[in-house]
Structure 1
Amino acid sequence: MSGDLTHVAEIAGSVPDPEIPVVTVADLGILRGVAEEEGKIVVRLSPTYSGCPAVVAIELAVEAALREAGIEARIERVLAPAWTTDWISAEGREKLRAYGIAPPVAGGRASLFTAPVVACPRCGSEATERVSEFGSTACKALYRCSECSEPFDYFKCI
């Protein structure tokens, strides 16, 4: 059955994030596991942020992708341990950057009163400034690059 579970994980992990479609559930590290319990397949997912409006959409999209592949599974939401931006894969971080979103800065957890140094995803300059604590979604902050003058979202660390 482990080969089947690997296949289930591949399908579930390939579902794109509805808010940032260039990254997948696997890229974000929110696919916590796939198991067989009492003859049923269980897919465990963690929300990125508490209150994220995409949580239900992601769960439904994973369930639909599996059903389309002929796989019935129960989706289980896992809250502990809480998801962290450290779980975003290297490939996921690069996909964010290529899409124009600065990925979380490693070790970038800042206090409430300071902003991390964030490189512009377009030109790479670190001459950037935070314009707003919130960007296009609550999980992102809005920054502007002083070199290329472009605004961009930064995926905040948690």
Structure 2
Amino acid sequence: MGELREGARIGTWLVCGIVGLAILYVVGAFAFGGAGWITAPFRGEVEERERTVGSGAFRLTTYEEFFDLCEAVQNAEGTILALQQERESASEARRAQIDQSVTALRATRIESVNDYNTKAAQEHRAPFRDRDLPYRLDVDAEKTTCTA
């Protein structure tokens, strides 16, 4: 009977050892392989950002984009001013056309201002805005200054 108990004890230790090794293996596989699987989206995101934000083409395009957006705002303002001056001496039919054009240009100007402000606020684009350009453009301003 003593030998039977000793054999059961050894068998219990053997089963516990095998189960423990299996658990250790599963935990290790998850910790190393699973951690890679869990962090894959983050690592892919960083890799994608480095490919775009870190590239010279992205930097140059973003830098020029701020100037283009600011210039679009100024162009709309200039056209609005020219149309308003023309309106003073225009016929009634032409005034109606001018009013429609001015309304459309104001909407286009607001879109350009909002686009500029949105991009200027983006963390990955803001560093590429020229220091002479305004941080934000004002939708209500009559004249926008973009210095180069």
TM-score of the pair, normalised by structure 1: 0.21
Report which of the two structures shows the higher radius of gyration computed on alpha carbons. Answer: 2
Structure richer in strand, relative to its length: 1
Q: Does 1 or 2 have the higher relative contact order (CA < 8 Å, sep 6+)?
A: 2
Higher share in helix: 2
